[in-house]
Amino acid sequence: MLTLLAALSSSAAGASPVTTSPVTTGLVTTGPVAADPHGTIGIRLLEAPVSHRNDPRALSYIVDHLHPGTTIQRKLEVSNTSRRAQHISLYPASADIVRNAFSAPPGQVQNELASWMSLDRPSIDVAPGAKEIAQVTIKVPPAASRGERYGVVWAESMAESDDANPVRVINRVGIRVYLDVGSGGEPPSDFRIENLTPKRAPDGSPQLEVLIRNTGKRTLDMSGTLSLSDGPSGLQAGPFPADLGVTLLPGSAAPVSVTLDKQVPDGPWKVRLTLMSGMVKRMVTATVTFPATGTGSSVTPDQDYLPLAGLIAGLVVLPATVLGFAVRRRRRAVSPAS
């Protein structure tokens, strides 16, 4: 019998993405790999602290700062998008930041934060197409030391093998937990964009590698977009999303990559880069040219800027489609004859 451990991505119903090693190590016997034939499960956070109500990161993950001796509860929604009833186990487990990525080991591995967490419903039977509510409690001991800790709340279901599906599948989805403990106010979050390096990926796609340094006191999850303007013949392109999955500890630095369409010309281009983690956002510009192969020269971006609507008020843009990606050509404004 095969056992396949499947970590569902954020495309699953309401699932918050958690990078986990069991995607590969859970395959304990060689043989064909199959998806769960019975459907999927999902989990999402229903509450965020008042201080983070405008923080998009805190709407997906449990992100908070607590004093020692504090207890909080957060409601979770567990969903079943399959056509059969699902028996779903709920439990807290450990997590850590490994090589600039959020990582959680398989199973009910405990750490300090996981030992502080409990679920009011350790298991739930969810009807086909239905949703159920559970609540996680985090109780910080009065003697807890200062610092940020990481964990995950897992929802897990199992599909046993049968004659038609000889693969035993475990579906697991989770919500990340970033909990900072300490007296006083929440430590600040901040980062700096240090340089931009144009590259050419092995498949020929142009890439921009952006070196980010966490200059704050909280861990960051990076996301963002890149737009191109002032290209050959006045072309514009984008926005292109930054590759997700980079998580930075305070004081650490790591590259965030943006992969562009293969048919984007080499340039030169004026790039406008917006990166964010939660409510912290930085926007920079620079001029880059993508190399034909390999890695180009790194450039230092301009200082953070705020986009001004007035800068584009006098421009006329004509929509067009060139080389399979959306571009626009800029036309000069012509003054009427006197």
Q: What percent of the chain has pLDDT over 70?
A: 75
Q: Which residue has the higher pLDDT, 312 or 326?
A: 326
Q: What CA dihedral angle connects 247, 250, 254 and 258, to 10 degrees?
A: 50
Q: Residue 323 pairs with which residues in a beta bridge?
A: none
Residue with tokens 């019998």: 1
The one-letter amino acid code at 28 reads V
Can you tell me whether residue 265 is helix, strand or coil? coil
Tell me the backbone φ, ψ of residue 14, rounded to 5 degrees.
Answer: 70, 10
Tell me the DSSP string of 158-215.
EE---SS--EEEEEEEEEEEEEEE-SSSPPP--EEEEEEEEEE-TTS-EEEEEEEEE-
310 vs 77: CA distance, rounded Å: 44
Tell me the backbone φ, ψ of residue 233, rounded to 5 degrees.
Answer: 60, 25
Residue 217's pLDDT is: 96
Can you tell me whether residue 262 is helix, strand or coil? coil
| CB contact set of 300 (below 8 Å; sequence gap of 6+) | 194, 195, 196, 286
Q: Which helix (H) or strand (E) holds 123?
A: strand 123-126
217 vs 190: CA distance, rounded Å: 8
- The answer to whether 24 and 5 have CB atoms below 8 angstroms apart is no
Residue 33's pLDDT is: 32
Grade residue 171 by pLDDT with cuts at 50, 70 and 90: confident
Residue 161's pLDDT is: 59
Residue 56's pLDDT is: 86
Q: Which residue has the higher pLDDT, 248 or 24?
A: 248
Residue 322's pLDDT is: 36
CB atoms within 10 A of CB 323: 12
Q: List pLDDT tens digits, range 266-323.
A: 999 999 999 999 999 999 999 999 999 999 999 999 866 544 333 333 333 323 333 3
Q: List pLDDT tens digits, range 90-110.
A: 999 999 999 999 999 888 899
Can you tell me whether residue 115 is helix, strand or coil? helix
- The answer to whether 119 and 78 have CB atoms below 8 angstroms apart is no
Q: What percent of the chain has pLDDT over 90?
A: 64
123: left (phi over 0), alpha (psi -120 to 50) or beta: beta
Average pLDDT, the chain: 80
Q: List pLDDT tens digits, range 221-253.
A: 999 999 999 999 889 999 999 999 999 999 999
Tell me the backbone φ, ψ of residue 285, rounded to 5 degrees.
Answer: -130, 160
